[in-house]
Amino acid sequence: MKTIIYYFTGTGNSLAAAKSICTHLGDGELVSIASLATTQGEIHAGADRVGIVCPVYDLGLPSIVAEFVQRLDVSQTAYCFGVLTMGGFGASALHQLDDLVFAHSKRHLDAAFTVRMVGNFVPLYDPATGEKRDKLLSDADKRLSEIAAMIDKGLIVRPDTAFLSAILKRIMYDGFIRKLHDADKNFIADEKCTSCGTCAAVCPVKNIDMVEEKPVWKHHCELCCACIHFCPVAAIQYGPKTKKRGRYKNPSVTIADMKKQRGE
Ligand SMILES: Cc1cc2nc3c(=O)[nH]c(=O)nc-3n(C[C@H](O)[C@H](O)[C@H](O)COP(=O)(O)O)c2cc1C
Ligand code: SF4
Ligand code: SF4
């Protein structure tokens, strides 16, 4: 049975989740959603099983993923699943994914899961460190093994009820999407910048150019936070609070992975 897993990631959690499921299933191929964003038209998966793996953003889907699902035809796919990684709260995003799949392909997801990993939205909070981080990631590993086993058996798993997160999503998500692409106006590279170019190299949507050896953000940002977390000297700030906060990358993610996500 052939499986394709479409993924999007900013700091590697969702890529680690996609890789883990792929390894457990043994027959999977990973395809980057970001690498397809510059193409146009319908996407036919051509696999028996199709998965979509990405983070939760503001209780919903990353904009790039929502747009992708509206082009993805899974009407003839035998089994279709979604796995969303998150910092703590956001089952409403699973319902959004299910609704978009239904709107385009006239079928529901067969299985839908959230996985708690390390929250990476550093403009709002300090990402977990030390034992807390290790525990979150080892619990996520166990959950991903269980999820892969359920997928392998072809179980039907409806999205968790999301009463509170659905209410909050209704309040927050549209505003988040409206301001999303320009949100990069809040990024600056401070005096620590060494002009290494890593931020430009890892941005999944090529939203950063190096101009006179400094990053310049081009206002088609997805707010994935890859640039801020991958900067090797923590020179990128978003608002007044990030200077004092830590940075996070999933331990397994590499710069090569991020370039591959861009189709390089
Ligand atoms: C813009 C943005 C919004 C986020 N919103 C939520 C949220 O509503 N709920 C949540 O639990 N985590 C939220 N997070 C945290 C991510 O979903 C979480 O860290 C995820 O695992 C990151 O995946 P990645 O490493 O594949 O990018 C948000 C992160 C970002 C960057
Ligand atoms: S500019 Fe930074 S936050 Fe925006 S999409 Fe690129 S890496 Fe992500
Ligand atoms: S990754 Fe950091 S140090 Fe390197 S160019 Fe970007 S801001 Fe400067």
Q: Which ligand is nearest to the CA of 190?
A: 3
- Centre of ligand 2 from the C-alpha of residue 180, in Å: 10
The pLDDT tens digits for 156-186 are 999 988 889 999 999 999 999 999 999 999 9
Asked whether 61 and 93 are in contact (CB, 8 A), the reply is yes
Which residue ranges form the domains of the chain, and what is each CATH number?
3-167 (3.40.50.360), 179-261 (3.30.70.20)
Give residues (CB < 6 A) around ligand 3: 189, 193-199, 215, 231, 233, 235-236
- Alpha-carbon distance of 200 to 203, in angstroms, equals 6
Q: What is the torsional sign of CA 119, 125, 127, 133?
A: negative
- The mean predicted confidence, pLDDT, of the chain is 97
What confidence tens digit (pLDDT) does each residue in 214-251 have? 999 999 999 999 999 999 999 999 999 999 999 999 99
Instruction: Quickly tell me which residue has 């525990």 as its tokens.
Output: 135
Question: 197 CA to middle of ligand 3, Å?
Answer: 5
